[in-house]
């Protein structure tokens, strides 16, 4: 049996299963992901390539000579290039339909392409054995295994190192203070929020001022990293045009954060 | 496939047998190189110098690969694997720069487009950050499909997409060059030189439409170049058409560049006889010593694959016509906005070049930013040396191409290299420098071929020393091109820098954009500086107000020392609801030359940091509420401003 036939049969069965599970509305299950992912990454490109550029020694001539088509490098390029092109064009086509691009429509269209082209490839393939050069033989030697494993480990170490470094640099080390009017409560009602994104527990002091007058004060607010705090304030709109909240860190007289809001 | 004799018999090379350095060893060196680069990144993030580790790591990836590819006895499968390994290793260099989320400017823009497709199930959702991005949604369609099917994040799906594209690019180019040169040895060297283009390491490795369009273009190149003896094959034409459609909707410039390249090849191919005569006449006018030198360098090669009996591959004209029609059709019917996006850069660059020629303009200083940042001397030397070596290699390669009487397609492709030095002229202009940089990814398709001919046939016999010299020279070219293509501050991650794209994205900016989405809700009209606008418009889910989309430049509002009527009029016209002010803008000059957008007051001419008083003025505006404060970043609610009498 030719390599194409050998691969196409399980691919077609897999695609059928993916189509059925898509129609059965089990789109969040791990089995669904397992079945559908090859449709996005590989199957349509492979089956289309098999249909259009069948294995060597067929009666269908095309500009890639038969010995070319048995080349694994060329086959990889043809399958991958076709797969990428199919994915893009199917997205365009789905956009033009009222159905739009969804997980389900995309999967079903890709399954349809795979089934059609795969079936065509089965009929085109004469069932002869491939040219020996078509076989991608990999000789597993201890040296390859050892160096390959070491290389993968080094890359993993590099990734972990880089990821940890980036995680540290994008982790905020700050405190957020914000003030917003209470929705639907009318003028004069505000909510003040503090969120600590500091690396260590912090103690704060919060003052609320209106028209140069201290309206309210919370002398000690303790927040651990990631914790939030909020409080409501009511200010008479007639008494002031603006409300201001000042945040201090414990033991410091200078303003750490400041927000203000105009009264409607 | 073109059956390869051991190249030493073809090219008169004596094999430098080195069994200790094969693919497994090269992969180990690459892994080690990546670890060093990662270490360099970590050091750089903490403010220490990571440059030495970065360059050492890069050389550990490059040198063994080049050394191995220069070995004549390496078979073509190993060559293909080495190129795939190199491509992935170089992609990982970029990935290690930001392994957890997209931080490059264009990446964020395309991330938004991909997200919009996933959420809405429709293409062409407006993207105010770069409105052309949704008009060319090829990359995002694939990313969205992979993300939906796999359950991966858009970031992870994007990484997977670009990785596949990178391998496809080098292998498709390898097959294309092999088809033209009939030599896997020369083809692998050509791909190697292609990876040395200034955009390969960073710009074309980011999650951006050009990064996927280039592999598609290489795939089309492979499909449209065919053996003239082959019969018409509708199936192959169908695949070519699919690829053409895919490229058309993926990236504008790559499609146009491919039309240009293929058109040039088609136009030049019939005139090869004339060009060859001209070459002979030129050679006859050289003085004797130069002639001898050329002759010595251009020893006729007894390569059976280069024999005149082999038919010259041809470009399929109908496919090129279709590519042209599709690109133009898409541009005029769907993506006409692209014209207004590209035209200012193109016309500005040509105008500036003309002004320079007639002495009306001075042009820009190379290796020096407008705001005065100068590259270190060693970088300047490497950059100039790299360009000089490429130019010299192109001349040498071109002579050899003619001397060797390659097929017409090879000759035509080689002549297209003339566009490369022309593109370098635009580096001297303010408007064209970026375009020149970006064009290199396309121009190197022909330049790499010519350089491979020069390198592949120059040093014979290929001794161990000459292999080492050639490998070193390639590394020098590569590093020089990286220096030219990507600024020093962007090469490695590090502490905050003003208006420096990935270097300006830190915890505080990300926290502010996340806060905006969580607390204010998505879709509020926001205006801010370059980087915070980008973050708000993407990770923050806000409606960023930009001049490219809204036609109103809000930047003068930030630069003004007080918020007067003109500034209020701008804000009102742009319907800005919220302003995000980052006080760190006043801590330095903008690395990207602008604090906000092209066209801002003093843009590309900033000599002093942003005025802190200008940023603080919003606190004095009675109708502006300072609703958020995280230290450096403040957010103002301006909606009451428009209710003022």
CATH for A245:
2.60.40.10
Shortest CB distance from A178 goes to which of B146, B627, B640? B627
Q: Does any CB of chain B come closer than 8 Å to the CB of residue A104?
A: no
Residue B225: C-alpha distances to residues B191, B221, B265, B445 (Å): 17, 6, 11, 14
Instruction: Say how many C-beta atoms besides its own lie within 10 A of residue A29's C-beta.
Output: 11
Chain B residues touching A18 at Cβ < 8 A: none
Q: Are residues A159 and A193 in the same domain?
A: no
Instruction: Say how many C-beta atoms besides its own lie within 10 A of residue A90's C-beta.
Output: 20
What average pLDDT is seen over chain B? 89
pLDDT of residue B7: 44
Q: Is B137 helix (H, G, I), strand (E, B) or coil?
A: coil
Q: How far apart are the first and last CA of chain B?
A: 79
Please give, rounded to a whole number of angstroms, the shortest distance from the CA of B221 to a CA of chain A. 11
Alpha-carbon span B264 to B281, nearest angstrom: 24
Residues 137 to 156 of B: which have CB under 8 A from any A CB? 137-138, 141-142, 144-146, 148-151
pLDDT of residue A201: 96
| B1:A71 CB<8 A | yes
Say if strands B625-629 and B633-637 run parallel, antiparallel, or are unpaired.
antiparallel
Chain A residues touching B166 at Cβ < 8 A: none
The residue of chain B with its CA nearest to that of A262 is B625
Alpha-carbon span B108 to B195, nearest angstrom: 24
Shortest CB distance from A148 goes to which of B27, B168, B238? B27
| A100:B121 CB<8 A | yes
The residue of chain A with its CA nearest to that of B101 is A166
Q: What is the mean pLDDT of residues B121-140?
A: 96
- The segment(s) of chain B belonging to CATH 3.40.50 are 501-643
Question: Which residue of B235, B236, B247, B322 is the best one to mutate when testing the A interface, meaning the one whose CB has the most A CBs within 10 A?
Answer: B235
Chain A residues touching B513 at Cβ < 8 A: none
Q: Does any CB of chain B come closer than 8 Å to the CB of residue A255?
A: no
| B149:A62 CB<8 A | no
* A179, containing H or E segment: strand A174-181
Residue B376: C-alpha distances to residues B367, B368, B382 (Å): 8, 10, 10
Q: Is A222 helix (H, G, I), strand (E, B) or coil?
A: strand
Q: Do B147 and B113 contact (CB within 8 A), yes or no?
A: no
pLDDT of residue B19: 56
Say if strands B578-582 and A242-249 run parallel, antiparallel, or are unpaired.
unpaired
| B162-219 confidence digits (pLDDT tens) | 999 999 999 999 999 998 888 899 999 999 999 999 999 999 999 999 999 999 999 9
Q: Are residues A121 and A197 in the same domain?
A: no
Q: DSSP per residue over B584-643, as a string?
A: GGGGS--TTS-SS-TTSTTTT---SPPPHHHHHGGGG-TT-EEEEE-SSEEEEE-GGGGG
Most confident residue range from B268-272, B423-427, B483-487: B483-487
Alpha-carbon span A193 to A178, nearest angstrom: 5
Q: Do A193 and A177 contact (CB within 8 A), yes or no?
A: yes
| B446 pLDDT above the threshold of 80 | yes
pLDDT of residue B200: 97
Alpha-carbon span B448 to B455, nearest angstrom: 10
Q: Does any CB of chain B come closer than 8 Å to the CB of residue A84?
A: yes
| B296 pLDDT above the threshold of 80 | no
| B238:A71 CB<8 A | no
| B239:A48 CB<8 A | yes
Q: Do B398 and B416 contact (CB within 8 A), yes or no?
A: no
Please give, rounded to a whole number of angstroms, the shortest distance from the CA of B254 to a CA of chain A. 15
| A23-64 confidence digits (pLDDT tens) | 887 767 888 999 999 999 999 999 999 998 875 544 333 445
Q: Are residues A39 and A84 in the same domain?
A: yes
pLDDT of residue A185: 74
Q: Do B80 and A73 contact (CB within 8 A), yes or no?
A: yes
Shortest CB distance from A103 goes to which of B28, B149, B508? B149
Q: Are residues A71 and A183 in the same domain?
A: no
Q: Name the burial class of residue A238, with classes exposed (0-12), middle (13-18) and buried (19+) by CB atoms within 10 angstroms of its CB.
A: exposed
pLDDT of residue B266: 86
Shortest CB distance from A180 goes to which of B99, B117, B627? B627
Q: Does any CB of chain A come closer than 8 Å to the CB of residue B559?
A: no
Please give, rounded to a whole number of angstroms, the shortest distance from the CA of B195 to a CA of chain A. 18
Banded pLDDT at B519 (limits 50, 70, 90): very high
The residue of chain A with its CA nearest to that of B232 is A62
Residues 606 to 645 of B: which have CB under 8 A from any A CB? 622-631, 635, 637, 640
Strand-pairing partners, residue A216, are A208
Chain B residues touching A150 at Cβ < 8 A: 28, 31
pLDDT of residue A56: 52
Residue B472: C-alpha distances to residues A183, B8, B59, B477 (Å): 67, 21, 9, 9
Please give, rounded to a whole number of angstroms, the shortest distance from the CA of A151 to a CA of chain B. 5
Banded pLDDT at B56 (limits 50, 70, 90): very high
pLDDT of residue A155: 98
| Residue pairs spanning A and B at CB distance below 8 A | 279
Q: Are residues A105 and A181 in the same domain?
A: no
Q: Are residues A17 and A99 in the same domain?
A: yes
Q: What is the DSSP letter of B99?
A: S
| A77:B122 CB<8 A | no
Alpha-carbon span A87 to B30, nearest angstrom: 32
| B168:A155 CB<8 A | no
Strand-pairing partners, residue A245, are A208, A259
Strand-pairing partners, residue B527, are B579
Residue A105: C-alpha distances to residues A27, A49, A102, A108, B137 (Å): 12, 23, 5, 5, 18
Q: Does any CB of chain B come closer than 8 Å to the CB of residue A53?
A: yes
What average pLDDT is seen over chain A? 87
Total number of domains in chain A:
3
| B175:A74 CB<8 A | yes
Chain B residues touching A137 at Cβ < 8 A: none
Which has the closest alpha carbon to B30: B57, B56, B58, B61? Answer: B61
Shortest CB distance from A40 goes to which of B100, B146, B508? B146
Banded pLDDT at B293 (limits 50, 70, 90): low
Banded pLDDT at B228 (limits 50, 70, 90): low
Q: Do B640 and A262 contact (CB within 8 A), yes or no?
A: yes
Of the options 2.60.120, 3.10.20, 1.10.3470, 3.40.50, the CATH number for the domain spanning B501-643: 3.40.50
**Phi and psi torsions of A204, nearest 5°:** -125, 165
Banded pLDDT at B307 (limits 50, 70, 90): very low
Q: Is A204 helix (H, G, I), strand (E, B) or coil?
A: strand
| B16 pLDDT above the threshold of 60 | no
Q: Does any CB of chain B come closer than 8 Å to the CB of residue A95?
A: yes
| B174:A73 CB<8 A | yes
B230 vs A130, more confident: B230
Alpha-carbon span B532 to B590, nearest angstrom: 13
Query: B431: left (phi > 0), else alpha (psi -120 to 50), else beta?
Result: alpha
B368 vs A148, more confident: A148
B603 vs B514, more confident: B514
Q: Does any CB of chain B come closer than 8 Å to the CB of residue A182?
A: no
The residue of chain B with its CA nearest to that of A183 is B520
Q: Are residues A10 and A130 in the same domain?
A: yes
Lowest mean pLDDT among B149-158, B304-313, B542-551, B590-599: B304-313
Alpha-carbon span B139 to B554, nearest angstrom: 31
Shortest CB distance from A174 goes to which of B24, B122, B511? B511
Q: What is the mean pLDDT of residues B467-478?
A: 95
Residues 205 to 234 of A: which have CB under 8 A from any B CB? none
Range of the domain at A191: 174-262
Q: Are residues A22 and A126 in the same domain?
A: yes
**Phi and psi torsions of A138, nearest 5°:** -120, 120
| A87-110 confidence digits (pLDDT tens) | 999 999 999 999 999 999 999 999
Alpha-carbon span B472 to B70, nearest angstrom: 12
Q: Does any CB of chain B come closer than 8 Å to the CB of residue A180?
A: yes
Question: Which residue of B3, B35, B174 is the best one to mutate when testing the A interface, meaning the one whose CB has the most A CBs within 10 A?
Answer: B35
Shortest CB distance from B511 goes to which of A143, A147, A172? A172
Alpha-carbon span B525 to B203, nearest angstrom: 30
Q: Does any CB of chain B come closer than 8 Å to the CB of residue A147?
A: yes
Q: Are residues A24 and A123 in the same domain?
A: yes
pTM over 0.95: no
Q: Do B490 and B205 contact (CB within 8 A), yes or no?
A: no
HSE (side-chain half, CA atoms, 13 Å) at B45: 23
Q: Are residues A40 and A117 in the same domain?
A: yes
Shortest CB distance from B507 goes to which of A40, A162, A173? A173
Say if strands A228-234 and A189-197 run parallel, antiparallel, or are unpaired.
antiparallel
Alpha-carbon span B117 to B638, nearest angstrom: 31
Banded pLDDT at B344 (limits 50, 70, 90): confident
pLDDT of residue A58: 40
Indicate the residue among A126, A146, A171 that finishes a domain: A171
| B185-198 confidence digits (pLDDT tens) | 999 999 999 999 99
Alpha-carbon span B199 to B257, nearest angstrom: 15
The residue of chain A with its CA nearest to that of B80 is A73
Residue B436: C-alpha distances to residues B208, B428, B451 (Å): 18, 10, 19
| B355 pLDDT above the threshold of 90 | no
Give me the percent of chain A exceeding a pLDDT of 70.
Answer: 86
Residue B399, C-beta contacts closer than 8 angstroms, at least 6 positions apart = B279, B294, B297, B298
Alpha-carbon span B310 to B144, nearest angstrom: 45
Residues 7 to 36 of B: which have CB under 8 A from any A CB? 23-25, 27-28, 30-32, 34-35
| B369 pLDDT above the threshold of 90 | no
A68 vs B269, more confident: B269
pLDDT of residue B301: 38
Shortest CB distance from B27 goes to which of A36, A147, A258? A147
The residue of chain A with its CA nearest to that of B151 is A33
Q: Are residues A164 and A180 in the same domain?
A: no
Q: Are residues A82 and A70 in the same domain?
A: yes
A185 vs B583, more confident: B583
Banded pLDDT at B341 (limits 50, 70, 90): confident
The complex scores an ipTM of 0.91
pLDDT of residue B412: 80
Please give, rounded to a whole number of angstroms, the shortest distance from the CA of B338 to a CA of chain A. 19
| A14 pLDDT above the threshold of 90 | yes
| B42:A162 CB<8 A | yes
| B222:A77 CB<8 A | yes
pLDDT of residue B173: 97
Please give, rounded to a whole number of angstroms, the shortest distance from the CA of A213 to a CA of chain B. 18
**Each residue of B52-87: b (16+ CB within 10 Å) or e?**
ebbbebbbbbbbbbbbbbbbbebebbbbbbbbbbbb
């Amino acid at each position: 049996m030719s390599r194409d036939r050998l691969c196409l049969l399980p691919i077609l069965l897999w695609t059928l299963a993916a189509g059925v599970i898509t129609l059965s509305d089990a789109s969040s299950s791990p089995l669904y992901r397992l079945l559908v992912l090859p449709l996005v990454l590989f199957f349509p490109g492979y089956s289309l390539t098999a249909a259009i550029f069948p294995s060597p020694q067929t009666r269908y001539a095309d500009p890639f000579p038969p010995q070319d088509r048995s080349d694994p490098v060329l086959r990889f390029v043809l399958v991958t290039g076709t797969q990428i092109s199919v994915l893009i064009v199917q997205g365009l086509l789905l956009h033009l339909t009222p159905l739009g691009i969804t997980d389900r429509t995309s999967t079903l269209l890709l399954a349809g392409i795979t089934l059609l082209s795969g079936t065509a490839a089965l009929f085109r393939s004469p069932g002869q054995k491939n040219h020996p050069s078509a076989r991608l033989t990999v000789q597993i030697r201890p040296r390859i295994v050892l160096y390959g494993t070491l290389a993968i480990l080094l890359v993993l170490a590099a990734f972990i190192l880089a990821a940890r470094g980036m995680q540290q640099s994008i982790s905020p080390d700050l405190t957020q203070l914000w003030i917003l009017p209470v929705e639907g409560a009318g003028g004069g009602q505000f909510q003040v929020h503090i969120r600590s994104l500091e690396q260590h527990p912090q103690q704060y002091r919060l003052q609320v001022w209106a028209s140069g007058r201290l309206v309210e004060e919370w002398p000690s607010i303790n927040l651990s990293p990631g914790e939030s705090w909020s409080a409501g304030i009511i200010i008479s709109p007639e008494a002031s045009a603006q409300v201001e909240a000042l945040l201090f860190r414990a033991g410091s007289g200078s303003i750490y954060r400041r927000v203000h809001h105009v009264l409607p | 496939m073109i059956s390869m004799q051991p190249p030493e018999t073809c090219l008169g090379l004596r094999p430098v047998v080195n069994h200790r350095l094969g693919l497994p060893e090269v992969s180990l060196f690459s892994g080690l190189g990546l670890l060093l680069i990662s270490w360099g990144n970590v050091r750089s993030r903490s403010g220490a110098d990571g440059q030495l580790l970065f360059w050492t790591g890069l050389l550990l990836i490059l040198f063994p690969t080049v050394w191995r590819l220069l070995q004549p006895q390496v078979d073509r499968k190993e060559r293909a694997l080495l190129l795939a390994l190199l491509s992935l290793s170089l992609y990982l260099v970029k990935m290690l720069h930001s392994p957890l989320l997209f931080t490059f400017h264009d990446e964020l823009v395309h991330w938004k487009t991909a997200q919009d497709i996933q959420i809405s199930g429709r293409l062409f959702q407006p993207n105010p950050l770069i409105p052309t991005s949704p008009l060319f949604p090829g990359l995002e369609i694939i990313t969205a499909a992979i993300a939906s099917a796999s359950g991966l994040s858009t970031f992870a799906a994007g990484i997977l997409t670009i990785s596949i594209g990178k391998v496809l690019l080098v292998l498709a180019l390898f097959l294309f060059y092999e088809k033209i040169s009939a030599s896997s040895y020369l083809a692998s060297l050509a791909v190697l030189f292609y990876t040395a283009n200034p955009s390969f390491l960073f710009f074309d490795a980011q999650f951006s439409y050009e990064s996927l369009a280039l592999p598609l273009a290489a795939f089309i190149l492979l499909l449209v170049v065919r053996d003239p003896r082959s019969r018409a094959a509708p199936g192959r034409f169908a695949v070519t058409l699919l690829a053409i459609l895919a490229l058309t909707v993926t990236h504008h410039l790559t499609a146009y560049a491919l039309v240009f390249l293929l058109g040039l090849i088609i136009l030049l191919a019939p005139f090869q006889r004339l060009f060859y005569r001209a070459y002979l006449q030129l050679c006859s006018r050289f003085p004797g010593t130069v002639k001898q030198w050329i002759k010595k360098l251009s020893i006729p090669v007894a390569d059976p694959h280069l024999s005149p009996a082999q038919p010259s591959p041809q470009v399929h004209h109908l496919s090129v016509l279709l590519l042209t029609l599709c690109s133009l059709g898409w541009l005029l019917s769907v993506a006409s906005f692209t014209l207004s996006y590209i035209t200012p850069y193109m016309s500005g660059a040509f105008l500036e070049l003309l002004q320079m020629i007639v002495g009306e303009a001075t042009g820009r200083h190379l290796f020096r930013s407008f705001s005065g940042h100068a590259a270190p001397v060693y970088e300047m030397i490497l950059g100039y040396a790299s360009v000089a070596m490429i130019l010299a290699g192109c001349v040498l390669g071109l002579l050899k191409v003619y001397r060797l009487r390659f097929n017409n397609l090879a000759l035509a492709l080689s002549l297209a290299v003339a566009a490369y030095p022309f593109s370098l002229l635009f580096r001297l202009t303010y408007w064209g420098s970026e375009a020149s940089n970006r064009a290199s990814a396309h121009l190197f398709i022909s330049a790499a071929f010519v350089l491979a001919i020069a390198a592949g046939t120059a040093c014979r016999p290929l001794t161990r020393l000459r292999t080492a010299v050639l490998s070193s020279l390639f590394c020098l070219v590569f590093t020089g091109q990286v220096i030219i293509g990507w600024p020093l501050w962007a090469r490695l991650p590090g502490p905050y820098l003003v208006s420096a794209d990935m270097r300006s994205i830190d915890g505080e900016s990300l926290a502010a954009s996340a806060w905006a989405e969580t607390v204010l809700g998505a879709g509020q009209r926001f205006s801010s500086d370059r980087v915070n606008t980008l973050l708000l418009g993407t990770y923050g889910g806000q409606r960023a107000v930009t001049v490219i989309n809204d036609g109103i430049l809000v930047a003068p509002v930030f630069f003004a020392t007080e918020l007067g009527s003109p500034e209020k009029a701008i804000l009102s016209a742009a319907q800005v609801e919220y302003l995000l002010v980052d006080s760190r803008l006043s801590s330095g000059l903008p690395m990207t030359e602008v604090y906000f957008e092209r066209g801002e007051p003093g843009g590309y001419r900033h000599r002093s940091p942003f005025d802190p008083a200008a940023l603080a003025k919003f606190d004095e505006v009675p109708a502006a509420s300072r609703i958020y404060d995280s230290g450096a970043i403040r957010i103002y609610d301006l909606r009451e401003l428009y209710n003022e009498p």
